[in-house]
Each structure stands twice: as structure tokens, then as C-alpha cells.
Amino acid sequence: MKMSRIAAVGTVAASAVLVLGAPAFAHVSVSPEGEAAKGGYATVNFKVPNEMDDASTDKLEVSFPGDHPLASVMTQPVPGWTVKITKSKLDKPLEIHGKKIDEAVTKVTWTADGKGIQPGTFQKFPVSMGQLPEDADQLVFKAVQTYDNKEVVRWIEPQQKGQEEPEHPAPTLQLTAASDDHHGSGAASDDTKSGDAKSDAKSESAASDSSDSSDTLARVLGVVGIVVGAAGVAFGVHSRAPRRHRLTRRARHPSGCAGAANARPGAPRPPHIWDIFVCARRARTERTARRVRRAPRGSSPPLPCWPWPHSP
């Protein structure tokens, strides 16, 4: 019996914890990607859960704070949703980066094109905003959630310090200390991307210069190879060309051949191989002629052994 009572008390306590804690996990909230620094820019997500079991969320309206207007608000496309940005004139124009801004975004509305946010699911709606105020510690947004059964839930109650969380708390964005560059996490991400882009550009430039130098070297080597090849061909043709030997006027040897006797005093010149060849041929011809003259009639004259071919 005692154990039954303890079990019942535990069950009731657990149910109470779940019931009391459910609103804290089910309400519309806003949180930054990284940090939201004062005076900078930030990308935040509006997280919208579906609290009902028999209806879907098909519309979300987020009103921006009027006491701290934001001149720059950009939404990221969400598949299945249509976004509408509403701007209003400012009573006191803002000056951002030397420019005067006389209007600011007052409301952003997302409308589902299809089924919307189904029961048991949630949806994030990213928004880039800035310039965040420097004289505030938080920004309070007011959200209105509409279901497809026409039921509306207003998340518009601000959180008071030292008090319990209200039943329908308004989404609140906590701001951090101002950064040196006054651009927040979004700008830091942009700077990183810009640095990466510059690094890639330098790498591509270095690769292009290296490629150009390699192309120039290849062209120079190609031209040198062509010149060397042409020179080799010319040398080969010249070496294969027949040499024309011209007999100059020389003093003839008494035998009729150009020999050592053709040298003039003071300019000795040895006989050339062509001179020796001509001399030997002429001498053979003369010997053959003398034999023919001495041969008796009716006999065949002897044939020279060179250069006419003959058969035995």
C-alpha cells in the first residue's frame, strides 16, 4: 500500500513537471547564429513549433521593435513559404554609414503555400538584420502564430526581470558586447569568405603566372629544337652532296700526269687523290693504245682491265 502511494505521488509530480515545462519548449523563440553584438549585424532564426495535434501552422507574423528600428532586414527563402516585408516611415530618421534612413522594417509575414508546419514538427525562419542598437541589451519581437483551423496564438508578453515566464512570452534576442568591427557574426563570416576569396584569387594568379612561365620556356625550347634540327638537316645534305673536283692549271709531269713536278718554288703541294686517279687511267689508256698499234692484223686487241667490264 505504501509503495502504491509513493508510485502515485511520483507519477503526479512527473506529470506536473511535464505540464509546467511544456510551454518553455513550445513557444516561438528567436536565437542568433553565433552572436548578436551591439552595433553590428546578425543572422537570427525564428523557431516556430506546432503545439496542436489536429492543426498545422500556416502563418507567422513577426513585429519588429519600434523603439529600436532596424534599417536592414533580409529574409532567407524557406521552401513552401511566401514572405512579405512591411516597412513604415520613421518619426526620427536614422543615420547609418553616413546615409539617412527614413523608413525601417516593422513586420515580416510568412505564409505557407502548402501544408505548413505539421503537428509534432517545427520550422526555422532565418533573418539577417542590423544595425543592432548599441544602447540596449535585448530586442523584443512580437509574434502571432496562426493555425489552419483559424486559431491564433499571440506571443507578445514580455519577460519581466525577477518574475516567472509568462504563458505566451514574446521572442527576445539577447545582445552581446559590441565588437571592434561593429559587424557581428554575419560580418565576420563575410570577412572570412572575402579572405578565402582573396586567397583563392592569389593562388589562381600564382598558378596562372607559373603556367605562363612554363609556356614561355616550352616555346623557347621548341624554337631552339627547330633551329638545331634544321642545322642538322643542312649539315647532312651538305655531307652527302658529291664533291666536284676541279683540276686547276698545273705544270704537267712529263708523263702527262699532275705530280710532284707541278709544284712551284716556294709553294710545295702534294698530289691529290683525284690527280693520282686521272694519271693512272691515262697511263693505262696509253699502254692499251700502244699494244693495239703493235698487234698484228687479224688478231684481237687486248681489252683493258678497267674500267670497262668484260666476260672471260
3-state secondary structure at position 19: helix
pLDDT for the residue numbered 80 = 95
Q: Which domain holds residue 264?
A: 249-300
286 and 170 co-located in one domain: no
Interstrand relation of 152-155 and 172-174 (parallel, antiparallel or unpaired): unpaired
Place of cell 686547276: 248
Q: Which stretch of DSSP H or E encloses residue 81?
A: strand 81-96
170 and 260 co-located in one domain: no
154 and 290 co-located in one domain: no
- 73 touches 108 (CB < 8 A): yes
Among 174, 209, 232, the domain-final residue is 174
50 and 154 co-located in one domain: yes
253 and 115 co-located in one domain: no
Domain annotation covers residue 227: no
Give percent of the chain with pLDDT exceeding 90.
34
Domain annotation covers residue 115: yes
144-158, 215-229, 288-302, range with greatest mean pLDDT:
144-158
Q: Which amino acid is at 7?
A: A
pTM of the model: 0.52
5, 9, 21, 25, 248 from 14: Cα distances, Å:
14, 9, 10, 16, 132
3-state secondary structure at position 30: strand
Among 157, 174, 191, the domain-final residue is 174
pLDDT tens per residue, range 108-119: 999 999 899 999
Domain annotation covers residue 196: no
295 and 164 co-located in one domain: no
Burial class, 93, CB count within 10 angstroms (exposed 0-12 / middle 13-18 / buried 19+): middle
3-state secondary structure at position 138: strand
164 and 45 co-located in one domain: yes
- 253 touches 262 (CB < 8 A): yes
Domain annotation covers residue 43: yes
286 and 150 co-located in one domain: no
Domain annotation covers residue 231: no
DSSP 264: B
Interstrand relation of 99-112 and 81-96 (parallel, antiparallel or unpaired): antiparallel
**At 125, is the pLDDT very low, low, confident or very high (cuts 50, 70, 90)?**
very high
3-state secondary structure at position 86: strand
- State how far the Cα of 28 lies from the Cα of 16, in Å rounded to an integer: 22
pLDDT tens per residue, range 59-117: 999 999 988 888 889 999 999 999 999 998 888 777 776 778 888 899 999 999 989 99
Give the number of domains in the chain: 2
Q: What value does the mean pLDDT of the chain take?
A: 74
Q: What is the dihedral of CA 30, 35, 40, 45, to 10 degrees?
A: -30
Interstrand relation of 42-49 and 29-32 (parallel, antiparallel or unpaired): antiparallel
Domain annotation covers residue 222: no
164 and 281 co-located in one domain: no
Q: What is the dihedral of CA 191, 194, 195, 198, to 10 degrees?
A: -160
Q: Which stretch of DSSP H or E encloses residue 100?
A: strand 99-112
169 and 37 co-located in one domain: yes
pLDDT for the residue numbered 229 = 80
Residue 287: pLDDT over 90: no
- State how far the Cα of 35 lies from the Cα of 41, in Å rounded to an integer: 9
C-alpha cell at 301: 686487241
pLDDT tens per residue, range 168-220: 999 999 999 987 655 544 444 454 444 555 555 555 555 555 555 666 777 77
Domain annotation covers residue 18: no
CATH of the domain at 135: 2.60.40.2230
Among 141, 157, 174, the domain-final residue is 174
Domain annotation covers residue 203: no
163 and 284 co-located in one domain: no
41 and 143 co-located in one domain: yes
C-alpha cell at 123: 520550422
